[in-house]
Amino acid sequence: MKAFLTWNDSVSDNGTFTYAVKRNTVNDSTTATTIASDIASGIQTFTDNNVSSNTTYYYFIEVSDGVSSVISIGYELHTVYDI
């Protein structure tokens, strides 16, 4: 199973934003695991190839300018049983 994530790129005065994708099975970004990091501005997509069927995941997109970072709200994804 795969989960496909997309997001809107943030606008930076100097174009140095990078993104990280975090995942958790509860809606809590502080305990979420980083599953991808250093994603360059302009990419705006990520494929999670490591999801299980019949599971709820919460994804968080973290944007950083190299000095500080901001984490998005949680995006909830429910997977279903494989057929």
pLDDT value of position 15: 66
pLDDT value of position 13: 64
pLDDT value of position 12: 65
Tell me the C-alpha distance between 65 and 13, whole Å: 10
Tell me the C-alpha distance between 16 and 75, whole Å: 24
Amino acid identity of residue 35, one-letter, is I
Tell me the C-alpha distance between 25 and 32, whole Å: 8
pLDDT value of position 27: 93
Paired with 75 in beta bridges are 59
Paired with 71 in beta bridges are 62
- Number of other CB atoms surrounding residue 65 within 10 Å: 15
pLDDT mean values, one per 10 residues, the chain (83 residues): 86 77 95 94 89 94 85 85 68
Averaged confidence pLDDT in the chain: 87
pLDDT value of position 44: 86
